[in-house]
Amino acid sequence: MPREGLVSTIIPVFNRSALLREAAASVLAQTYRPIEIIIVDDGSTDDTFQAVAALRAEHPSIVRYLRIPNGGPGVAREAGRVAAEGEFIQYLDSDDLLLPRKFELQVSGLRAHPECDVAYGRTRFYRAGDSPGESSWKRTGERIETMFPSFLQSRWWDTSTPLYRRTVTDRAGEWLTLRNEEDWEYDCRVASQGIRLHYCPEYVSDTRTHCGNMLSRGGRNAAKLHDRAEAHRLILGHAQRAGITCHTPEMRHFARELFLLARQCGAAGLFDEAQMLFELSRSASTPDRRRGLDFIAYRAAASVLGWSLAGRIACSLEHFR
């Protein structure tokens, strides 16, 4: 049974010992108690172990440590999720920060609104080492009552922004082994439960960019596109199970994104992924849209030229628009 009132913060880390210290310090600085921090070392080769040892020595009742073979952020978050003992779950990337009243505000909000299962607030975005501005990142400055259908347009918060009830993460199940867009897929799985959001109109976390290794970088390499294709396939399924129809603006947006990603996968030589995404794009579109000239022309081009060449030509044309 989860410990009532406990907030479990799960921090996966790979070779970011200095940033990890700052992330952990931001959790320790929370005005709310009780808390636990579960640091999941995803096969680091730097001095992460020593950094965590120092944190554990100073905060033995709060900081826990798990080391796993390198498997990416989803695998690391899953290891932390399984080990967590809290009533509430906070995921935190090792390069980001929580602001001191985050748990106080969000736990209070969820307790005051039992109909809500996830709380979020405003997030700031800036380069590590710079002073943060006072503008909300993505759509975290907006009051939005449900995750779907808006999450079909984008993952409009970052990992540090929401606080989840443990019951919601238990129902969502395991994080996947994907290394790209695994967080978007996971949140769409949460969204498919039809949960309601509680909004705290204050700044609760910071997303920081830096020069180190970031999985969101990497361009259009084949491995990244493969994971994005699988994430998009699953996201569409989550949305459809939640009753989002092809006539909503958000689904129309997502259908266009599936078509674009199909072309990119084709250009990268991912034939199966390109064909799958093309068919999913058509299935997610309205009946009139499925008969569109671009769909007809692209299918004909892929039949004659192959998915790879058709994708390269289409991406080149997009580049010159």
- Residue 280, Cβ density class (10 Å: 0-12 exposed, 13-18 middle, ≥19 buried): buried
* Higher per-residue pLDDT: 314 or 272: 272
Helices (H) and strands (E) in the chain, counts: 12, 8
- Residue 118 pLDDT exceeds 50: yes
Integer Cα distance of 20 and 39 in angstroms: 9
What is the rounded average pLDDT of the residues 220-239?
Answer: 96
- Cβ–Cβ < 8 Å for 95, 210: yes
pLDDT tens digits, one per residue of 63-93: 999 999 999 999 999 999 999 999 999 999 9
Q: Which residues 6+ apart lie within 8 Å of 78 measured at CB?
A: 174, 175
Average pLDDT for 285-304 = 95
pTM confidence score = 0.93
The percent of residues in the chain predicted with pLDDT above 90, rounded, is 91
- Give me the sheet containing 63-68, strands edge to edge: 63-68, 35-42, 3-13, 86-91, 163-165, 116-127, 196-209, 97-98
CATH assignment, 3-209: 3.90.550.10
pLDDT digits (tens, 9 = 90+) for 271-280: 999 999 999 9
- Under the banding of pLDDT at 50, 70 and 90, the label for residue 242 is very high
Over residues 12-33, the mean pLDDT reads 97
pLDDT digits (tens, 9 = 90+) for 151-209: 999 999 999 999 999 999 999 999 999 999 999 999 999 999 999 999 999 999 999 99
* Both structure tokens of 75: 């695998």
Residue pLDDT, tens place only, 204-229: 999 999 776 555 444 569 999 999 99
Peptide bond into 149 cis (omega under 30): yes
Domains of the chain by residue range: 3-209, 222-319
- Stretch 4-17: mean pLDDT, rounded? 97
Q: How far apart are the first and last CA of the chain?
A: 56
pLDDT greater than 50 at residue 38: yes
Strand partners, 205: 98, 123
Asked if 128 and 174 touch (Cβ cutoff 8 Å), the reply is: no
Nearest of 206, 8, 204 to residue 106 by alpha carbon: 204
Instruction: Check residue 319 and give its pLDDT.
Output: 60
Q: Can you tell me whether residue 252 is helix, strand or coil?
A: helix
pLDDT for 217: 46
Residue 175 DSSP one-character state: P
Cβ partners under 8 Å of residue 243, min gap 6: none
Taking a C-beta distance cutoff of 8 angstroms, is the pair 197, 86 a contact?
Answer: no
- Using the Cα atoms of residue 64, residue 69, residue 72 and residue 77 in order, give the sign of their dihedral: negative
Whether 317 has a pLDDT exceeding 80, the answer reads no
Q: Which residue has the higher pLDDT, 317 or 146?
A: 146
At 295 the pLDDT is: 95
Please check whether residue 76 is in contact with residue 44, taking contact to mean a CB–CB distance below 8 angstroms: no
The pLDDT of residue 293 is above 50 = yes
The CA-atom distances, in angstroms, between 28 and each of 32, 120, 259 are: 9, 19, 45
Q: And the tokens for 163?
A: 């606080």
